[in-house]
Amino acid sequence: MSYNKKLNFRTDLADERRDIYKKANNMQDTQGVKSEEEKYNDHIKKTKVEILDENGENILGKPKGVYITIDIDNLKIAQDEEIEEAATCLSKEIKELIKKHIDAKSEILVVGLGNEYVTPDALGPKVVSDIDVTRHILQYMPQYLDKDTRSVSAISPGVLGTTGIETVEILKGIVDNIRPKLVIVIDALASRNINRISKTIQLSDTGIVPGAGVGNKRSEISIKNLKVPVIAIRSTNSCRFSNYY
């Protein structure tokens, strides 16, 4: 697939790419791209960008699918009630994306990407350490779980510089063996705007191309390579949400 190479987006956020393209081309709308904004309350805003066709893919340099961006004002100094409010909003959007692809009991594999020893890249491993995994309990001690409990497993595969193995190669082996119905990938996010650090989360159902936001593209983690749907949850280095499931 040939993506737009004329603009140096240097961002993973679909809404930023849309705005950059519109400004560069002096356009009000972008053909093949649909977007809408919604306010949950005074400090939480949702922007939904849908890439509808090949024209939209070429314009924004991202695959066709849904990209939901949640911006949370003052998250770095938020109180417990505000954090809970933001987590509820995020949880709602994640559940809706999951429901779009699998049923309530289908198995999920959660993958935390990144280097746990490098703060800007440590989001994925930090979140995975807080995931309530259930696959092993359902296999060996199912009597201790509710009958509607979903099977969840989790892995933090490290980074190429440490393992010498492309992440997608590791995940292919895991997916082929445990056969989840859906993969959720959690990773840090690149933004052009420093004001979005620790306040912006993007969800998408198109998977992820590691390093794409900073011009370092490698093998994509997507349905194309893993043969199961892939949801990406990415944040501009905000590590405050971990109990998504």
pLDDT in tens, 16-68: 898 888 888 887 778 899 999 999 888 899 999 999 999 998 888 888 999 99
The predicted structure's pLDDT at residue 38: 92
* Range among 69-73, 177-181, 239-243 with highest mean pLDDT value: 177-181
The predicted structure's pLDDT at residue 234: 92
Domain ranges of the chain: 14-235
The model's confidence at residue 78, banded by pLDDT at 50, 70 and 90, is confident
Q: What whole-number distance in Å separates Cα of residue 128 and Cα of residue 159?
A: 15
Structure tokens at 1: 């697939």
Assess whether pLDDT exceeds 60 at residue 238: no
Question: Which CATH class for the 14-235 domain?
Answer: alpha beta
The predicted structure's pLDDT at residue 6: 55
Assess whether pLDDT exceeds 60 at residue 132: yes
The model's confidence at residue 216, banded by pLDDT at 50, 70 and 90, is low
Write the DSSP assignment of 140-182 as a string of letters: H-GGGS-TTPPPEEEE----HHHHSS-HHHHHHHHHHHH--SE
Q: What whole-number distance in Å separates Cα of residue 196 and Cα of residue 95?
A: 24
